[in-house]
Amino acid sequence: MLMADLLNIEDLHLEFHTYDGVAKVLAGVDLRMQRGDVLGLVGETGCGKSMTALSVPRLIPMPPGKITQGRVTFAGEDILSKSESEMETFRASHLGMIFQDPVTNLNPLFTIREQLVDSVLYQQARGQKVPGRWKGFMPSVRQLRAEAHERAVELMRLTGIPDGDKRIFEYPHQFSGGMRQRVLIAMALAGDPDLLIADEPTTALDVTIQAQILRLIRSLVKQLGLTVLLITHNLGVVARSCERVAVMYSGRVVEESPVRELFKNPKHPYTRGLINAVPQKDVSRGGLIGIPGMIPNLIDPPAGCRFHPRCEQVMDVCRRQVPGATPVGAEHKASCFLYPEDA
Amino acid sequence: MSRLLEINHLKKYFPIRGGLLNRKVTDFRAVDDVSFTLQEGKTLGLVGESGSGKTTVGKCILRLLEPTSGQILYDGQDITHIKAHELRRLRGEIQMIYQAPAASLNGRMTVGQIIGEPLWIHEKLRGDAARDRVLELMTVVGLKEEHYYRYPHEFSGGQQQRIGIARALAVQPRLIVLDEPTSALDVSVQAQILNLLQDLQDQFDLTYLFISHDLGVVRYMCDEVALLYLGKIVEVAKTEVIFEEPKHPYTQALISAIPEPDPDLQREEIIIRGDLSHAFPQGGCPFAPRCHAEKLASCDSVLPPLLEAEQQHLVACHLHPPLSASSASEPA
């Protein structure tokens, strides 16, 4: 391979120990990202897309969570074997994260300035990205904060918040939903991350604001050369903003492909079902096809392929064995027995 | 075909209190002069962003909120000020299905009790007779018989929404106000619920007022669409017309912002500035501060009335002169 993977998740198994039993949340997730990739991770509620993403910064509480198998490497470094303090440095210097709900992720008692400056200072201190001229002697707190303030205003300008130098003194409640999400993006960018993990960044927003935020993310990818892992349940969002897509179902990636290929030529029955379930332009009344049944119970998942109870093309082998990822086209992989490995 | 529901100049203002004596300072105009009609057996989509007043309109129709002014005609009868006992009868004809299925079901009642309660209230049905009806309703919405004694928390979101639908159907309503019935559901389940709603409409001759912010769903479900912006209707037309030839700049922007699952789709992307704000210039068009279209002098000073720009296509925008005015000037 020419380029080394920035992120490589291999055969990741994650379990949660609950009173009802052991929930097998992830059952062998494989995911690779290269620098500059914009990868969409799609799936329904409970398919493990957020858990996959959270296992990169290791933000899953353990216990009750437990990684039983698999490896996560970031630029060649093994993440799962790092100590907690190494993790803090790693998160500050390499990762940025934005979440679904911009309301709960900002503290209502502090101004935007306090929160943004704090994250800039933290990421600098932890990520040891203190500007060169400060090396060798301790700068005064006042100087550091003044510099961090400059940086914070700069970040607000970068994320498209008008009048950043004035609005930085305001409180979160004075910002609208879209503006708050921009503040969170600014925070995530404070440490110059290599990878931005965006977990349903536009789900709580109106469509017009969603379009603004997606455009912002696209322009940041161009400007800063970010690598983005975009988690969403909305196929339309993926079609608009990603280059590659991985579709997850019940703890596994079932199909992975470039965006255009996935929508033009979906291979896995689940992916097809998902695309058909979206009300599109030329679907007339009664023409919408849902996927029958419900997502499986994770404590007692179906044997073999976890999609088989809902699948229309189910075969005998599906009930017994778990399909592996097979290439079905250029850079296109699907985990389904419909596509035998030797074909 | 008859008009089942007619709304005339509906207004709902909420008082904003403040100052030393907590007196009314000003009004928050949640719904400001909304008029539309709904034909029997049809589905009207009420679309808008959060804060546009679409849910308030729905609640006013059921009289869950008292309108500040205006008139609501149901089946030719003015129901804006009817008394409590008449209102109870009316609620047997108009029902509502809510957005958050979990929050709209009483967690301490079994499914049987939840669906059976309206039967007792409206038809004084109890015991075996009620039980038979409940089981029948459960089959209609796709629930199984063994779910009768279960509690709502044992169900998934889609199943919970089915319970809500069965409860609304229990009293054999003619009009159902659907307030974002699928926005809390996954797409695969959403498709199931939307299809169920369409089947029920055909089966029981229902009329829907479909409140949603999801234009994709609205395009699939509705015969006619009304777009709300800050409590005012900006455009009303048949669904195909709205999606093919949107006239109002806000509608155009909204449609261009639908994330279509088609990466090859080439279209002009209109991204409107800023966000929903009630601080628009007094007397002017509420959308003027965010508008991307050509700006006229009247945009900031004159409120554009909702007029027929084309046959059965109402638009509230100065760029689109009313039909009568333009046709009068053309022959000259």
Is the pTM of the predicted complex or chain greater than 0.80?
yes
Q: Considering only the beta carbons, identify the residue of A208, A234, A276 that sits closest to B254.
A: A208
pLDDT per residue of chain A (343 residues) written in tens, 0 to 9 = 445 788 899 899 999 988 888 888 898 899 889 888 899 999 888 888 888 988 888 888 888 888 888 989 988 888 888 888 888 888 888 889 998 887 888 899 999 999 999 888 887 777 655 555 555 566 677 778 888 898 899 999 888 888 888 889 999 988 888 889 999 999 999 888 889 999 988 888 888 888 888 889 988 898 888 899 999 988 888 888 888 999 999 889 999 999 988 888 898 999 988 888 888 777 777 778 888 887 888 888 888 888 988 888 888 888 888 888 888 888 898 888 888 765 4
Helix (H, G, I), strand (E, B) or coil at B27: strand
**A309 Cβ contact list (under 8 Å, min separation 6):** A293, A296, A302
Task: Give residue B86's identity as a one-letter amino acid code.
Answer: E
Regarding an ipTM greater than 0.90, the answer is no
Chain A residue closest to B156 (CA)?
Answer: A294
| Mutation for B interface: A245, A275, A294, most B CBs within 10 A | A294
CA atoms of B11 and B67, how far apart (whole Å): 6
CA atoms of A258 and A265, how far apart (whole Å): 10
Which residue in this structure is represented by tokens 């110059």? A192
CA atoms of A158 and B199, how far apart (whole Å): 50
Position A40 scores a pLDDT of: 92
Q: Which residues of chain B have pLDDT under 50?
A: 327-332
| Mutation for B interface: A288, A291, A297, most B CBs within 10 A | A288
Contact B213 A212 (CB under 8 A): no
Half-sphere CA count of A2, side-chain side, radius 13 A: 1
Position B279 scores a pLDDT of: 66
Position B329 scores a pLDDT of: 43
| Mutation for B interface: A240, A248, A264, most B CBs within 10 A | A240
Structure tokens at B61: 């129709």
Position A105 scores a pLDDT of: 86
Contacts of B258 in chain A (CB under 8 A): 207, 236
Within 10 angstroms of residue A14's Cβ, the number of other Cβ atoms is 24
A82 min Cα distance to partner chain B (Å): 36
Helix (H, G, I), strand (E, B) or coil at B328: helix
CA atoms of A65 and A83, how far apart (whole Å): 17
A312 min Cα distance to partner chain B (Å): 14
Contacts of A179 in chain B (CB under 8 A): 275
Position A1 scores a pLDDT of: 44
Contact A263 B217 (CB under 8 A): no
Chain A residue closest to B185 (CA)?
Answer: A45
Contacts of B221 in chain A (CB under 8 A): 279
Structure tokens at A264: 């033009």
| Mutation for A interface: B47, B180, B202, B275, most A CBs within 10 A | B275
Identify the CA nearest to A192 among candidates A129, A234, A125.
A129
What is residue A302's DSSP assignment? P
Contact B198 A285 (CB under 8 A): yes
Chain mean position to CA B69: 19
Identify the CA nearest to B103 among candidates B157, B24, B175.
B157
CA distances from A249 to A47, A104, A232, B205, B219 (A): 5, 28, 13, 38, 28
Q: Which residues of B touch A (CB under 8 A)?
A: 49-50, 156-159, 186-192, 194-195, 198, 213, 215-217, 219-221, 243, 253-254, 256-265, 269, 271-272, 275-276
Contacts of A260 in chain B (CB under 8 A): 263-264
CA atoms of A42 and A50, how far apart (whole Å): 10
Structure tokens at A61: 């509480």
Half-sphere CA count of A213, side-chain side, radius 13 A: 31
Position B35 scores a pLDDT of: 92
